[in-house]
């Protein structure tokens, strides 16, 4: 059904089905396990599934499990030693949450720990005691997080890979347009170049998020590191375009940079081919006649920027093309 809709609506349908299935399964499983508060499992499943858009679902599930276990342990210990009374309860909550917040600064896996500790401390005075409450809370979070991960893996498991492939190709197309504009050396294109740079940055940010969102199970086929490497290669190519722009946008430089512009057009053609999912031949080392030595001898800043930018472009674009090949994006 999702394939018959527009890409945007298909994504919304996928998200709705994953959320409905995950929340329902978490509720039934927690109830079947006789956990006292099944809604915590449902909440955890919802949180984990929501992170499948723009984040790593396995990472969030792991962080919630670690944070819950830490908060439950701290909360149980504090609840055991605190004396009865409202004042001691307030002091115990303040000390536990402050300590966990301090330890959790910069550690995403401890974000939920203060919440869990507060629940265990405040609810530990009941008939079951803090130890039982801590164990129940941990089980509820683990059940919900596990169901959330399974819902992402079981429903539309190939969607994230397809989205990453399309975003990588789109980024290559946008880089090709930007590089072609930069090498024209026309001052009238300045505002368009600025807009294109901003758009490429946004696309690369989205690509980095999409790379985290593809779930690779452990084993020889794991490709997560390669996806992150592809994103980094894209950022290097963008930096090369910035350097080239400093040469080609210099006043009166376009006439003397014709050989460099012709070489850059080869890079444009390769980026365009990657955007269409076509494999490309490597650019190889930059031609000696375009190397930096000629620019240095003439003390020409435009030539220097063009030579440095193209030398780096040859290296970084070949690396990018190799990443496309390794990840079977072409």
SS (H, E, C) 262-284: HHHHHHHHHHHHHHCCCCCCCCC
* Per-residue pLDDT at 49: 77
The proportion of the chain whose per-residue pLDDT surpasses 90, expressed as a percent, equals 17
pLDDT band at 179 (very low <50, low <70, confident <90, very high): very high
Segment among 5-14, 121-130, 290-299 with least mean pLDDT: 290-299
Q: Measured between alpha carbons, how far is 214 from 58 in angstroms, rounded to an integer?
A: 10
- Residue range 72-87: average pLDDT? 81
Q: Measured between alpha carbons, how far is 251 from 78 in angstroms, rounded to an integer?
A: 70
For the cut 50, the answer to whether the pLDDT of residue 110 exceeds it is yes
322 contacts 274 by C-beta, under 8 angstroms: no
For the cut 50, the answer to whether the pLDDT of residue 32 exceeds it is yes
Better-predicted residue by pLDDT, 77 or 237 = 237
Burial 239-264 (b: 16+ CB within 10 A, else e): ebbebbbbbbbbeebbeebeebbebb
pTM: 0.62
- Ramachandran region, residue 129 (left: φ > 0; alpha: ψ -120 to 50; beta: rest): left
Q: Measured between alpha carbons, how far is 71 from 247 in angstroms, rounded to an integer?
A: 56
Q: Measured between alpha carbons, how far is 89 from 79 in angstroms, rounded to an integer?
A: 8
Q: Measured between alpha carbons, how far is 249 from 189 in angstroms, rounded to an integer?
A: 10
* Per-residue pLDDT at 150: 80
User: Which residue, 221, 217, 204, 220, is CA-closest to 164?
Assistant: 204
Better-predicted residue by pLDDT, 160 or 192 = 192
- Residue range 4-28: average pLDDT? 74
The mean of the pLDDT values for the chain is 79
């Amino acid at each position: 059904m999702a394939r018959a809709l527009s890409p945007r609506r298909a994504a919304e349908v996928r998200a709705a089905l994953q959320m409905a299935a995950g929340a329902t399964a978490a509720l039934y499983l927690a109830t079947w396990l006789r956990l006292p508060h099944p809604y915590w499992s449902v909440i955890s499943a919802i949180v984990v599934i929501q992170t499948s858009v723009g984040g790593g679902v396995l990472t969030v599930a792991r962080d919630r499990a670690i944070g819950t276990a830490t908060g439950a342990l701290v909360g149980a210990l504090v609840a055991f030693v605190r004396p009865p009374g409202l004042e001691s309860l307030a002091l115990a909550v303040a000390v536990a949450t402050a300590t966990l917040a301090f330890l959790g600064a910069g550690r995403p896996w401890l974000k939920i720990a203060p919440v869990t500790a507060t629940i265990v401390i405040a609810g530990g005075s009941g008939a079951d005691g803090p130890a039982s409450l801590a164990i129940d809370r941990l089980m509820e979070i683990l059940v919900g997080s596990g169901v959330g991960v399974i819902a992402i893996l079981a429903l539309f498991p190939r969607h994230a890979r397809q989205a990453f492939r399309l975003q990588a190709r789109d980024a290559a197309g946008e880089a090709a347009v930007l590089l072609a504009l930069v090498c024209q050396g026309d001052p009238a294109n300045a505002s368009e170049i600025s807009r294109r740079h901003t758009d490429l940055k946004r696309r690369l940010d989205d690509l980095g998020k999409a790379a985290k969102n593809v779930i690779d199970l452990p084993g020889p086929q794991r490709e997560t590191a390669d996806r992150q490497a592809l994103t980094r290669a894209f950022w290097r190519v963008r930096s090369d375009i910035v350097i080239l722009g400093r040469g080609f946008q210099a006043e009166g430089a376009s006439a003397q940079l014709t050989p460099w512009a012709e070489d850059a057009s080869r890079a444009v053609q390769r980026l365009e081919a990657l955007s269409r999912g076509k494999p490309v031949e490597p650019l190889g080392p930059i031609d000696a006649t375009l190397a930096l030595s000629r620019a240095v001898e003439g003390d020409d800043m435009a030539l220097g920027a063009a030579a440095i930018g193209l030398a780096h472009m040859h290296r970084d674009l070949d690396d990018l093309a190799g990443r496309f090949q390794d990840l079977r994006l072409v």
